[in-house]
Structure 1
Amino acid sequence: MSEDKMDLYLQQGMYGPLETKPDERHLFLGSLRERVVLALTKGQVFRSKPYKEAEHELKNSHNVTLLVNGELQYQSYSPYIQMANRYGVPFKIVSDLQFHTPLGIVIAADIAVNRELIYIQDDIYNRSVLKS
């Protein structure tokens, strides 16, 4: 075994397997931009009423997963969990204390969908983007 391969093997043993586009995965709660169907900022998740667009995607999209930012309080995202359960969509609560993201919820497909518009751009979104 060459020295480069040995070093790679040791690095993966100590730190885990190599990951493609780590910055993108941190932003999108473990998923890649090309797989995102819809993304909501933390501020949007705190809105008193869940977004109809999110319910539409959970109801009509196939092979998607609801990814929830674990930094948020349960009360803020529970309506989305209930929707996911209603439509049989699996969900994951992503808690990575090393990395912070402005996103609160991501609905991601199992394969690349390459949607151009993945954000709901309203006043809450605009305030979140201007803060960042």
Structure 2
Amino acid sequence: MGLFNKMFGEKEVKSSTTGGNSFLNWIPLTSLEQLEEIKNQSKTEPVFIFKHSTRCGISNMVIKQFEKLFTEDHQKLKVYYLDLLNYRDISTEIGAVFQVMHQSPQLLVIKNEVSVYNASHQDIVETDLSRFI
């Protein structure tokens, strides 16, 4: 829980792995009600969901590499962070709502209320973020 508290002491937080100098601002995904918010936001802009296991070495490596993908051009992208260990019920609902099989780590891109892209493990860092701007 320590990493989660460090990362999410406020509503939108700076990256913890780059000392706050990242262009990525995580939005904590901590309630099922936020899935409706995500669906509504996705009607006008792409919304990202990053599912992360804080106890997994691969997930920790991928999240650090993912944060490095963000440049100034990407700073307005909405990126939700889901701590799988604390919010497994939300992960399960994401799978049902967006019809994706659970993976960890996993990145989903939601547009017009559906998942238009998902990647897991090392494939996450191969994602071309600019195609979603």
Scaled by the length of structure 1, the TM-score of the pair is 0.31
> Quick one: higher RCO (CA 8 Å, sep 6+), 1 or 2?
1
Greater CA radius of gyration, 1 or 2? 1
Scaled by the length of structure 2, the TM-score of the pair is 0.31
